[in-house]
A and B are shown apart, each in its own frame.
Chain A
């Protein structure tokens, strides 16, 4: 039942893995200090920033999860990469990135520390380290279990460790430079393989029009498969949650407040490169649903045909018969197994290797990006800041570099050890979104108010973040509080509003920040004032 890889497939995967490894290690020669390791020496051109944002954001979880959602819910699954990306990336490029870049920070929590205080910085950093650890574990397990095991039958423990070691070593050695350089290669591999899968899927189902007509004729649960904004009564993606929760809150919070995304723009050589990189990333991301969601739709037509032609094409325990207007149709139990099953049944030798390399590219880029961002946050905002708060000297460049590398190694080992626990989680894309939604709303609220409203102060931000996260958690724990089965869209929306209100009220009840402190960090102040920036930096370091 598993794919027997042809020697050409093995060769393609091997060449790809060794190529990434060598490119990653090559960049090590440019790493002399913490600035080189964490921010690539502020030398990245816009295209490298854009490429890196896309491949770091799109992991194997997206290939698997978005296709699975499209299989079950239709094109509305694409909202996450359309409505949930481009407008948010434009806001990120023109509202947040210029301030982050100009303030010369390494991380978002560091920016919050400068704008508010160390408490907000530490709390935000701890939240992101936790989120990144969970994301890493999910990425590793998804690829190992849902992809490689379904396709090749390999033991997932084995796969997790191989992926962890290969990716961990080059991230450990080359930092952000290695991540961005390998991301450029991985983007090409990912797009070529994704477009190949799309082309073959459409070919097998007789083209777009034929596929659309077949699915629409099935009626029942498939009646809305080509409606992008679903009614508010829809159980998974009701439009109010998609438009307000995803488009206005989650997406902007993700693109502006997520270190793994913003990290690359902080390493851009100019402010223009940072903004242009963000826009290019948004444009390239627009193609992801085409490559990822459409094969999920094609599976609705292709898999029944494949099972009809060969009853053993898919094991009977993997699917159930669902009544439709055109008769009973076999539908997979687990939507996350759609893409691997399609790859196994459809792709010829050579393309299977390319597709596997593409999925590994998606995984490796996300792992390396997350590792790099997590180690930057740990060293800058937790360890170094903690030392300063306890009265110790700040880390020098060499020590920061060693700690960054050490934490990279620690994180990947812990993630690999914990990965098997996540076989309990179904619908992993939604699970990751749920975890993110717990923190994104409150984080966006304090970031947005921090930049747009000079009156926002440290107490307001701390209360907004803490109570906002607590509020999210309470909403998440109450079953059936919202009409959607995965309530993360509503949680993000309401927690954002709640954290905004708390931050504003507490800020108004407590003294404002001194004008000198927030100079250069808010929209209305003079942002291109080197003297102010230097004074700010000196005060933070003191």
Chain B
């Protein structure tokens, strides 16, 4: 009980102090350069780190572009020519295949291993089918 009381008091102390501190040092939203004190120094350091990081990303991207673009450009062209209805066929097959895998391929003893009350409603094969069926309807509806 004492422990809980201590934490409540600590929270009630820390909360307004930290909030007040934040209000005090951040009078204008987004204006890091106007923030003073320790928080201001930390914000400016993180500004420098972020800017350097972005510059590094540009350099690194330029380094790899000549290698990666010739590899992926043909793959992108290939994918863009795939017949659109295949998207729905593959997706529905993915849902149905997953249900069939659990229901018919995995051993029931493996699927329900650790079950404390053996009953039809605790059979995870049934849970899998019931959870996935609504998705099939949704994907057919928004085809």
Contacts and interface: CB of A to CB of B under 8 A. Distances in A.
B30 A229 contact: no
Given A94-B106, A229-B87, A474-B60, A271 B19 contact: no
Contact of B4 (A28, A158, A494): A28
A539 interface: no
Given A169-B11, A272-B112, A275-B124, A418 B26 contact: no
B2 to A, nearest CB: 12
Interface magnitude class on chain A:
35 or more
A272 B124 contact: yes
At the interface, is chain A mostly helix, strand, loop or mixed? helix
A139 interface: no
Contacts of A222: none
Contact of B142 (A161, A227, A243, A479): A227
B84 to A, nearest CB: 6
A91 to B, nearest CB: 7
Interface in A403-425: 417-418, 420-421, 423-424
Contact of A161 (B4, B22, B46, B57): B22
B30 A279 contact: no
A187 B93 CA distance: 32
Nearest to B61: A477
Given A161-B18, A474-B60, A86 B135 contact: yes
Given A94-B102, A157-B23, A479-B61, A271 B143 contact: no
Contacts of A155: 22-23, 26, 29
Contacts of B8: 25
A243 B91 contact: yes
Given A158-B22, A162-B19, A483 B80 contact: yes
A340 interface: no
B43 A477 contact: no
Nearest to B15: A165
A271 B88 contact: no
B30 A423 contact: yes
B131 A286 contact: yes
Contact of B114 (A149, A243, A271): A271
A87 to B, nearest CB: 5
Interface stretch (A231-239, A256-264, A378-386, A393-401): A231-239
Contacts of B60: 473-474, 477
Interface string B1-17: 00110011011001100
A157 B22 contact: yes
A249 B142 CA distance: 23
A98 B127 CA distance: 17
Nearest to B112: A272
20 contacts: A25-B7, A93-B124, A158-B22, A162-B15, A169-B7, A173-B7, A228-B142, A232-B80, A248-B94, A270-B116, A272-B113, A272-B122, A275-B111, A276-B124, A280-B127, A283-B127, A420-B43, A421-B46, A477-B61, A478-B68
Given A28-B3, A421-B46, 20 more contacts: A83-B135, A98-B110, A157-B26, A160-B22, A161-B19, A229-B88, A229-B91, A240-B87, A243-B91, A270-B114, A272-B115, A274-B114, A275-B114, A279-B128, A280-B127, A286-B134, A474-B64, A477-B61, A479-B65, A481-B65
